[in-house]
């Protein structure tokens, strides 16, 4: 399997933040709409492709570890919350003190409205009244990592499908042009360096498979999924470990997690996997955690 990095060029604001499981959902929908059957046995096969969240170039999410692991005192807790990112090299070298605060995204509240086609106007309080919506704008170069089984998908195929998603729009309000982006391959990226360790960081929401995991430290993430083009849009809610989870594996791994079925009225599945980023860690702050 090959790990690559795609450079994202946002062409509009977003209403939904692109997380790995949701990006995979769009990817799968594009394939099924083209009558491409390569994911029809997804629940039984090894993952042919795994996507990360949109991440700032050169940085990864802060590991979900106690304050002691970062050398932070109780009085510095507020500062720690602001520092959500860590440079890739610092993480893999085990220097968890190098946390950074980045202006990765800005959330803006925008007022919008719909037009009543009978009166060609809005309402003061009815269904066509102006309403507020939160939009996201990226202020730091976003990238997405993908782990690809090249016996099933080529890197160019994945890039082209991502560009197709970007043209049609990602997430909420894509029908009015939100979530538009373009993708290109980062030719300079040579993968994450090999580290002799049992500790790994996740970079997308993950369903942790306890079979291969010795210990795990994470925050929870609820996914309330929907079907793409369906009269019954809602899927079963799924509880996942959020991006930035730290797992101590029993053996080396390229990825962690497990695929999930969350169908209600139609077949459906969730990317419960994450690319596993190895990093040095001495267990500080978690050795006594049970």
What does the pLDDT look like over 96-115, one tens digit per residue? Answer: 989 999 999 999 888 877 78
- By DSSP bridging, strand 238-241 and strand 269-270 are unpaired
For domain 1-57+102-113+122-190, give the CATH number: 3.30.70
- 222 close to 207: Cβ distance less than 8 angstroms: no
Residues near 266 by beta carbon (within 8 Å), at least 6 away in sequence? 227, 230, 232
CA dihedral 50, 51, 57, 61 (to 10 degrees): -90
Instruction: Provide the 10 A C-beta neighbour count for residue 30.
Output: 17
The secondary structure of 149-198 as a DSSP string is -TTT--HHHHHHHHHHHHHH--STTGGGTTT-EEEEE-TT---PPP---S
Domain boundaries, the chain: 1-57+102-113+122-190
Place of tokens 């990817």: 27
- pLDDT confidence of residue 9: 96
- pLDDT confidence of residue 290: 45
Percent of the chain at pLDDT above 90?
53
- Reported as a single tens digit per residue, the pLDDT across 154-178 is 999 999 999 999 999 898 888 888 8
Query: Which SS3 state, helix, strand or coil, does residue 4 take?
Result: strand
Positions of the chain with pLDDT lower than 50, given as ranges: 289-290
CA 174 to chain centre: 18
Q: Name the CA radius of gyration of the chain, rounded.
A: 20
- 41 close to 47: Cβ distance less than 8 angstroms: no
pTM exceeding the 0.85 threshold for the entire prediction: yes
């Amino acid at each position: 399997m090959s790990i690559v990095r795609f450079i994202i060029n946002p062409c509009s604001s977003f209403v939904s933040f692109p997380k790995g499981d949701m990006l995979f959902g769009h990817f799968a929908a594009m394939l099924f709409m083209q009558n491409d059957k390569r994911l029809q046995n997804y629940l039984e096969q090894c993952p042919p492709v795994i996507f990360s969240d949109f991440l700032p170039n050169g940085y990864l999410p802060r590991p979900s570890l106690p304050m002691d692991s970062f050398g932070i005192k109780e009085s510095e807790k507020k500062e720690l919350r602001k520092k959500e990112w860590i440079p890739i090299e610092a993480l893999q070298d085990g220097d968890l003190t190098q946390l950074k605060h980045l202006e990765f995204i800005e959330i803006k509240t925008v007022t919008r409205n719909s037009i009543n086609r009978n009166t060609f106007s809005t309402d003061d309080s009815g269904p066509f009244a102006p309403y507020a919506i939160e939009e996201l704008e990226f202020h730091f170069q976003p990238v997405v990592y993908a782990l690809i089984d090249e016996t099933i998908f080529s890197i160019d195929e994945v890039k082209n499908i991502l560009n197709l998603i970007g043209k049609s729009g990602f997430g909420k309000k894509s029908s009015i042009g939100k979530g538009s982006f373009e993708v290109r391959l980062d030719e300079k990226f040579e993968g994450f360096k090999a580290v002799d360790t049992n500790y790994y960081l996740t970079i997308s929401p993950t369903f942790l498979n306890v079979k291969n995991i010795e210990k795990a430290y994470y925050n929870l993430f609820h996914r309330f999924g929907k079907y793409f083009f369906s009269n019954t849009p809602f899927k079963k809610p799924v509880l996942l470990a959020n991006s930035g989870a730290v797992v101590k594996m029993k053996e080396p791994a390229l990825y962690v997690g497990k695929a999930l079925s969350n169908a209600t009225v139609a077949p459906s599945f969730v990317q419960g996997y994450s690319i596993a980023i190895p990093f040095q860690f001495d267990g500080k702050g978690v050795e006594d955690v049970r």
